[in-house]
């Protein structure tokens, strides 16, 4: 995700989460909540009991819940105030938090979230918080913030510490994928309790799009790849990414692409066997030009024996407003995901 922009004007628009044109907004900058066709950006999902919870980019991290994945209820944000650790790590950061990831692991729901004090630059960090339950009315409900996991620094790093995605491999080892633009998607090994990076640190680069820029030229003219999500299916790890540009309403050209590997650390290859490290991938979802101008930043889950893709799409009928997309994934005979937007659960 990322509200990646190169002018102050665009920065302000992105901080308002692209409430385009004449669409009304609330005090957080989001459009009025629509229970059956909700606004969301960068959706991820976890289930607690009989309730599905979707987390997304927003002030304090946006949260909504549903019993059936069709009708949604707005829930309180995760953070009412800016995470304390950002005051030292990212001076000037507000509470507009990007691209969370959520997973249940070792008796807790683990939330990884992205903070960027300078959109479009690698002045960013990923935080980590946990709670025993996602139900706001549960007696044990309480988010505990554990602070920073990893940070990217201007002039040192050619990747952004945003768009986290946690996964546990077949041996029980937790990993964190993240990254955006320039040198692409990173993978690091986490401690067993997910509280930080293992020592000595183990880093891998999974995918990138070759750039014509100099190493510390942070313009956003090429190398557009982000929003990594790893999903294990059969003998393969599938690496979903988003290509090109988000956050421009009906002018967005975001799209979802994928590669796969038998090892979590790669190499990830596209459908014809070319490496994602060399800018290759297989595009599986684009805007249809009728309902959605573009779509991206997806996550994938198995629900009742079926696999589903969650993403946001820039709605043409809603003047570019970012809407929740949930649609079943069909796997072809060669084991590649097929997306049909006409069969989505959401409007």
Instruction: Give me the catalytic one of 101, 163, 183, 226.
Output: 226
Q: Are strands 58-59 and 96-105 parallel, antiparallel or unpaired?
A: antiparallel
In angstroms, rounded to a whole number, what is the distance separating the alpha carbons of residues 305 and 177? Answer: 25
Per DSSP, 341 falls in state G
Q: 300 with 229: CB under 8 angstroms?
A: yes
**Residue 219 a catalytic site member:** no
Residue 215 to residues 156, 181, 188, 243, Cα–Cα distance (Å): 10, 12, 21, 20
In angstroms, rounded to a whole number, what is the distance separating the alpha carbons of residues 9 and 276? Answer: 33
In angstroms, rounded to a whole number, what is the distance separating the alpha carbons of residues 229 and 239? Answer: 6
In angstroms, rounded to a whole number, what is the distance separating the alpha carbons of residues 87 and 93? Answer: 7
76-96: b (≥16 Cβ within 10 Å) or e: ebbbeebbebbeebbeebebb
Q: 238 with 260: CB under 8 angstroms?
A: yes
**Residue 42 a catalytic site member:** yes
In angstroms, rounded to a whole number, what is the distance separating the alpha carbons of residues 325 and 54? Answer: 12
Instruction: Give me the catalytic one of 42, 101, 163, 321.
Output: 42
Active-site residues, by number, are 42, 226
């Amino acid at each position: 995700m990322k509200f990646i922009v190169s002018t102050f004007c665009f920065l302000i628009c992105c901080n308002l989460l692209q409430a385009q044109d004449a669409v009304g907004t609330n005090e957080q900058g989001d459009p009025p909540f629509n229970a059956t066709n909700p606004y969301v950006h960068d959706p991820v999902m976890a289930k607690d009991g009989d309730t599905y919870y979707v987390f997304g980019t927003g002030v304090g991290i946006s949260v909504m819940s549903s019993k059936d994945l069709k009708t949604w209820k707005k829930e309180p944000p995760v953070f009412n105030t800016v995470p304390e650790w950002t005051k030292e790590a990212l001076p000037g950061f507000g509470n507009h938090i990007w691209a969370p990831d959520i997973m249940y692991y070792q008796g807790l729901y683990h939330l990884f979230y992205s903070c960027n004090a300078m959109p479009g630059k690698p002045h960013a960090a990923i935080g980590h918080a946990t709670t025993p339950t996602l139900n706001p009315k549960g007696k044990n409900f309480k988010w505990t913030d554990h602070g920073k996991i990893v940070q990217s620094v201007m002039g040192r790093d050619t990747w952004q510490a945003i768009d986290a995605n946690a996964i546990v491999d077949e041996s029980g080892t937790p990993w964190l994928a993240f990254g955006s633009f320039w040198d692409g998607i990173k993978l690091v090994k986490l401690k067993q309790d997910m509280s930080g990076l293992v020592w000595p640190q183990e880093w891998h680069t999974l995918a990138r799009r070759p750039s014509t820029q100099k190493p510390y030229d942070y313009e956003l003219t090429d190398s557009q790849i982000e929003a990594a999500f790893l999903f294990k299916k059969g003998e393969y790890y599938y690496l979903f990414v988003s290509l090109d540009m988000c956050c421009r309403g009906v002018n967005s050209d975001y799209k979802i692409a994928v590669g796969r590997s038998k090892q979590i650390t790669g190499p990830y290859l596209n459908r014809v066997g070319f490496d994602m490290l060399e800018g290759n991938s297989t595009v599986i979802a684009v805007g249809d030009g009728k309902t959605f101008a573009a779509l991206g930043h997806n996550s994938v889950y198995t629900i009742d024996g079926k696999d589903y893709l969650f993403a946001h799409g820039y709605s043409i009928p809603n003047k570019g407003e970012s809407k929740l997309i949930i649609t079943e994934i069909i796997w072809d005979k060669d084991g590649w995901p097929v997306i049909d937007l006409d069969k989505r659960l959401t409007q």
